[in-house]
Structure 1
Amino acid sequence: MLKLKYLFNNVDLAEMLVRNWELDERSPDVFTTYRISSNATYSFQFNGKTQFLRFAPTSEKYRENLLAELDFISYLRSKEYGVLETVGSKSGNELMEVQTPWGEYYASVFKQVPGVPISETDLNDHIIFSYGKSLGKLHRLSSEYQPVRSKRQSFSDVLTSIETFLIDLPHETLALKETTLLQDYFQSIPKSKNNFGLIHYDFEYDNVFYDAKSQSCYAIDFDDAMYHWFVMDIEQTLDSLQDCILPKLFQEKKECFLDGYRTEFKIEDDMMELLPAFRRFADLYGYVRILRSTEDQWNHEPDWLVGLRGRLMEAMKNKSRYFGMDL
């Protein structure tokens, strides 16, 4: 999540950045929709088709991670995996670094993928099975992947970064203890090409689209991808599904998802038993991202920002409920 000061709609900035790509000039309004969270994303038209401008301040991102993300997407497309497609700028670059009156920004453009988000379907067994199959195929391809230019960060890099951030915050002793617990715990888990590799990390129902025509899934938003155990993706995905599936149906849908996954890639039973530990990682990472995002405060904040801050504080409370407990 970006710092709160970057969550404001800035159409002038977005228009300045998007001019580095081709776009339709017929409409007086360049953008049709926008969303700001870990990045700012604005939709626009080119040749009558929807594309998405994604950008963030260079202070919020690592260039090597962004290049590695684009490399991984290119690799997946070369293997005919359902994934978003990048668009080269007028200068032929997938990633632009642009100086603006608001600072320096990284920007990329992606084509819209077919279909609708998984959350907007009826979540029938065929769709859930396809959803699981898509994640299994992603992990199978990841197990064979060798980076070309840059390498994404790992879970260990994330924990080190969290430790560095927390160590100077005297009121975050429990979060720091949780970081140390996870660092020690993960050292005991074996790694192999069958259980560890580059994961999506955010394979949630709003980042995976189901296309009824091809009856297959397309993944977007690899911004959080990292090297981790593959079951981290499984835990994140199943956790998100609980938001849109009735509790009495969840176990059945979970098994359907895992059946689809297993058609593409094996799940080791002993790794599935570790899912609670991976939930702890996700909670800690989410907690610290919110903490970092909200550390700045201003007088006379608008009502929407006050409301957002309140919801984020509640989310932090939920994510920290197991901090410091034995794993």
Structure 2
Amino acid sequence: MPLTEIDRLKRTVTPAWESPVADQVAAAWGYPAGTAKWWRSSASHVFVLPDPEGKRYLRFVPDAYLGAGPVAAVSSLMDRLAAGGAAVVRPVPARTGALTATVPTALGPMHAMVVETAPGEEFDAEDLDVDRARSWGAALAAVHASMAGIDADLPEAFAELAEFPDRFAHDPALVKAASHLADRIAELPRDGSRFGVVHGDFELDNLAWDEGRATAFDFDEAAHSWYAADIAYALRDLTGPDGLPAAEHRQLSEEFIAGYRSVWPLDGADLANLRLFAGAHAACSILRIDNALGTAGEDEAEWMADLRAKLTDMARSHRELAIGVAEAL
């Protein structure tokens, strides 16, 4: 989401972490004013809601950033997966009975959904051991298996690569790399064992673990893609700047793959393409960061300036990875 959109919402948040905008949205689920507490804003604005069994999460995006269709598609996918027994958080119907709601607010229309909390605790890469890495891989494979054959109104991954000639004409090396990566991806087979609906962001910060079982949440990046591409994105924190597993994380990456293969097929060709997908993901991340950055204002808040600097550094790293992978393939 653009930093300017995050800032618009953040300016409404009180010292008690409440927002009149969130109050308007939460009312669609019957929550009174002052109930929703701001948690974070990135691809969506996320607020915590109380629940008799713990808490729920209110997620919403401005219509100027994303239409109602994609939000409805994600909520429908999550509901279908949860109903089928997949380890996925379940959306909570609004008072109308629909899984999503479009709510007029002081900041314009917001497209919203509410999801249950995932049971358990979150881990990061520093908490990983070989058993958890294997379970993580198996969890992603189980999600892929549960989504196999599903027809969902979702975007296709890597479509952004076509925008590079216009968006980054000032950076011919990056445009060349993106074009090469796109050409390589276009040659890949799309049979059902390799290509389908994917989570899109199966990193550890989007999972909660309870007695060794991972529950997935945050399907904002769900798309039609290659399963191997979903693996490559999940393993970003274990991947080096050359698109290959970092030396210090190689065993964890291997255990992840072994866990994945214990549930869903991944042949040698798919495995060999992980580096290609790492480069393509890096390129697409550059474009998304560029979308988020926009143009800096003269009176930009300190937190926004700091975040802008951090994102700029991230984009620089992604550029090096994308170009490096393209040159190596």
TM-score normalised by L of structure 1: 0.88
Is the counterpart of residue 110 in structure 1 residue 115 in structure 2? yes
1:16 aligns with 2:15: no
| Worse-superposed segment, 231-240 or 138-147 | 138-147
Structure 2 equivalent of residue 58 of structure 1:
63
Q: Which residue of 2 aligns with 1:228?
A: 225
Q: 5 Å matches for 1:65-76?
A: 65-76=70-81
Distance 2:117 2:67 in 1: 24
| Alpha-carbon contact 1:142-1:199 (below 8 Å) kept | yes
Aligned to 1:319: 318
Counterpart in the other structure of 2:3 = 4
Q: Relative to 1, partners in 2 of residues 1:113 and 1:176: Cα closer, same or farther, differing over 3 Å?
A: same
- Verify the 8 A CA contact 1:191 1:229 in the aligned structure 2: yes
Displacement of 1:247 in angstroms is 6.2
Distance in 2, matches of 1:226 and 1:178, equals 23
Moved over 4 A (4+): 246-249
In the TM superposition, residue 178 of structure 1 has moved relative to its aligned partner by: 3.2
Unaligned segments of structure 1, at least 5 residues: none
Name the CA distance, whole Å, in 1 between partners of 2:157 and 2:150. 18
In structure 2, C-alpha distance between the alignment counterparts of 1:62 and 1:323, rounded to whole Å: 32
What is the CA–CA distance in structure 1 between the aligned matches of 2:181 and 2:58, rounded to whole Å? Answer: 36
Partner of 1:158: 160
* Residue equivalent to 2:15: none
Shift of 1:126: 2.9
- What displacement does 1:120 show? 8.4
Offset at 1:172? 4.1
Equivalent-residue separation in structure 2 for 1:81 and 1:48 (angstroms):
20
Q: Provide the rounded CA distance (Å) in 1 between the counterparts of 2:140 and 2:167.
A: 38
1:94 equivalent among 93, 99, 103:
99
User: Do structure 1's residue 85 and structure 2's residue 90 form an aligned pair?
Assistant: yes
More helix by share: 2
- Is the 1:3–1:293 contact (alpha carbons within 8 Å) kept by the matching residues of 2? yes
Identity rate, percent: 22
| Residue 37 of structure 2 corresponds to residue 37 of structure 1 | no
Letter in 1 for 2:313: E
CA distance in 2, matches of 1:29, 1:20: 14
1:129 Cα deviation after fit: 2.0
Matches of 2:314 and 2:126, distance apart in 1: 26
Query: Secondary structure of the residue that 1:198 maps to in structure 2?
Result: strand
Hey, what does 1:269 align to over in structure 2?
A: 268
Aligned to 1:297: 296
SS in 1 for 2:208: strand
CA 209–121 in structure 1, closer or farther in 2 if over 3 Å, else same: farther
What SS does structure 2 have at the residue aligned with 1:38? Answer: coil
Q: Number of residue pairs matched?
A: 313
Per the TM alignment, residue 237 of structure 1 is displaced from its structure 2 partner at its CA by 1.5
1:216 aligns with 2:213: yes
| Residues 253, 30 of structure 1: alpha-carbon distance in 2 compared, 3 angstrom cutoff | same
30-39 or 289-298: bigger deviation: 30-39
Secondary structure class of the residue paired with 1:288: helix
State the one-letter code of the partner of 1:286.
S
Distance 1:241 1:14, change over 3 A: farther
Post-superposition shift, 1:71? 2.2
Relative to the length of structure 2, the TM-score reads 0.87
* Structure-2 change in CA distance of 1:249 and 1:316 (3 Å): closer
